[in-house]
A and B are shown apart, each in its own frame.
Chain A
Amino acid sequence: NAGVTQTPKFRVLKTGQSMTLLCAQDMNHEYMYWYRQDPGMGLRLIHYSVGEGTTAKGEVPDGYNVSRLKKQNFLLGLESAAPSQTSVYFCASRSPASGTDTQYFGPGTRLTVL
């Protein structure tokens, strides 16, 4: 059981470039989340999904798009990267059937936009 995995681990982009971050989970969780974490800050929710084919906006969705074509994968896209998107991105998942709101996190992707 790998849990939640994220690829890539590190990436450097130039302003205006695009990229996709991949999150995969093998726990058959319904819900998946993308967060960003900036220095001295907690995690802020970008987008989330409560099931295959569904997505919803979080606290800071601007500049990002997401897709949940398969239950186990949740993709985060940056169409035109900006320096303000330099951050560490975390994916998480949870199962509503567990009866708790506990989320399981991936190791993170460190993104730098020059």
Chain B
Amino acid sequence: SQQGEEDPQALSIQEGENATMNCSYKTSINNLQWYRQNSGRGLVHLILIRSNEREKHSGRLRVTLDTSKKSSSLLITASRAADTASYFCATTPGGYSTLTFGKGTMLLVSP
């Protein structure tokens, strides 16, 4: 079963706007990661946030984690057309070496 669920399923914005995607999960985790998948390609790791962290930044990306609500959000600021992709959250349940992925948010950034 899939641990994470992203919301919304699809998001359409204009270049320069911010994009926010949310992820909810079910069980306790060691960390949560966000990956990007361009159409027809493999997944690329974007950012990882550990369970004892609340917020993390990397360039135009900002990730928050609320373990009490079992949720995370990914904010992409000043979006570009090149950000058009699907975004997945993935969690690592404690003690395992595997990742469990959500179904993803499809982001479309129009010029």
Contact = CB atoms under 8 A, between A and B. Distances in A.
Interface of A: 4, 31, 33, 35, 40-45, 48, 50, 58-59, 90, 92, 96, 100-108
Interface of B: 1-2, 4, 30-31, 33, 40-45, 48, 88, 92, 97-104
B97 A96 contact: yes
A96 B92 CA distance: 13
B42 A31 contact: no
A41 to B, nearest CB: 6
9 contacts: A33-B98, A40-B103, A43-B101, A44-B101, A45-B99, A90-B42, A106-B42, A107-B42, A108-B42
Nearest to B92: A101
Contacts of A90: 42-43
Nearest to B104: A42
B103 A42 contact: yes
Contacts of A35: 101
Nearest to B3: A42
A108 B41 contact: yes
A105 B103 contact: no
